[in-house]
Structure 1
Amino acid sequence: MKYYLIAGEASGDLHGANLMKALKKEDAEADFRFWGGDLMREVGGTGVKHYRELAFMGFAEVIMNLRTIFKNINFCKKDIESYKPDVLIFIDYPGFNFRIMKWARKMGYKTHYYISPQIWAWKEGRIKDIKRDVDQMYVILPFEKEFYEKKHNFPVHFVGHPLIDAIYDRKQVHPENFKKENGLDDRPIVALLPGSRKQEITKMLEIMISVAGDFKEYQFVIAGAPSQEKSFYESFLSTKNVHFVTNKTYDLLSISEAALVTSGTATLETALFKVPQVVCYKGNRISYEIAKRVIKLDYISLVNLILDKTVVTELIQADFNTERLKKELTNILDPYTRAAMFLDYYELEKALGGRGASENTAKLIYSAIKK
Structure 2
Amino acid sequence: MHTGNPNSPIWFSVGEASGDLHGAELMKALKEVDPTVSFTGMGGPAMVEEGMDVLYDMKLISLVGITEILGGLPRILKLLSQIKKRLTEVRPRAIILVDCPEFNFRIAKMAKKLGIPVYYYISPQIWAWRSGRVHFLREHVRRVICILPFEKAFYEKFGVDVDYVGNPLMDVLPFDTLDQVPVDNNRIGLLPGSRTKEISTLLPIFAETARKLKQDHPDLSYVMVCAPGRDKGDLMDLWPEDIPVECVEPDNRYEMFKSCRMIMAASGTVALETALIGTPVLVAYKVSFISMIVAKLLVNVDFISLPNLIMGREVYPEHIQEDANPDTLAAAARKWLDNDSDYEAAKKDLVALRNMVGEPGAADRAAKIILDDLKAV
| TM, length-normalised to structure 1 | 0.84
Alignment of 1:226-241 (within 5 A): 226=228, 229-231=229-231, 233-238=232-237, 239=239, 240=241, 241=244
Alignment of 1:13-162 (within 5 A): 13-33=20-40, 35-47=42-54, 48-50=56-58, 54-56=62-64, 61-69=65-73, 71-72=75-76, 74-76=78-80, 78-79=82-83, 81-82=85-86, 84=90, 85-149=92-156, 151-162=157-168
Alignment partner, residue 257 of structure 1 = 261
- SS of the residue 1:196 aligns to: coil
CA distance 1:119–1:14, change in 2 (3 Å): same
Cα separation, 2, equivalents of 1:34 and 1:337:
49
CA distance 1:33–1:137, change in 2 (3 Å): same
Alignment partner, residue 369 of structure 2 = 364
Cα separation, 2, equivalents of 1:14 and 1:315:
30
The alpha carbon displacement at 1:42 in A equals 4.2
CA contact (8 A) 1:3 1:30 kept: yes
Cα separation, 2, equivalents of 1:162 and 1:254:
19
The answer to which of 10-19 and 104-113 deviates more is 10-19
CA distance 1:32–1:332, change in 2 (3 Å): farther
Unaligned runs of 5+ in 1: 177-185
Cα separation, 1, equivalents of 2:188 and 2:43:
30
Aligned residues: 354
Alignment partner, residue 225 of structure 2 = 223
1:244 aligns with 2:243: no
Unaligned runs of 5+ in 2: 1-7
Cα separation, 1, equivalents of 2:282 and 2:293:
22
Query: % of aligned pairs identical?
Result: 36
The alpha carbon displacement at 1:64 in A equals 4.5
Amino acid at match of 2:234: S
- SS of the residue 1:99 aligns to: helix
Question: What is the alpha-carbon root mean square deviation over aligned residues?
Answer: 2.8
Cα separation, 1, equivalents of 2:42 and 2:207:
34
Match of 1:292 among 289, 296, 311: 296
1:337 aligns with 2:352: no
CA contact (8 A) 2:138 2:159 kept: no
Cα separation, 2, equivalents of 1:75 and 1:113:
21
CA contact (8 A) 2:138 2:161 kept: no
Cα separation, 2, equivalents of 1:73 and 1:197:
27
Amino acid at match of 1:354: E
Largest Rg, 1 or 2: 2
| TM, length-normalised to structure 2 | 0.83
- SS of the residue 1:333 aligns to: helix
Alignment partner, residue 5 of structure 2 = none
Amino acid at match of 1:27: D
The alpha carbon displacement at 1:277 in A equals 0.4
The alpha carbon displacement at 1:41 in A equals 4.4
Match of 1:11 among 5, 8, 18: 18
CA contact (8 A) 1:55 1:197 kept: no
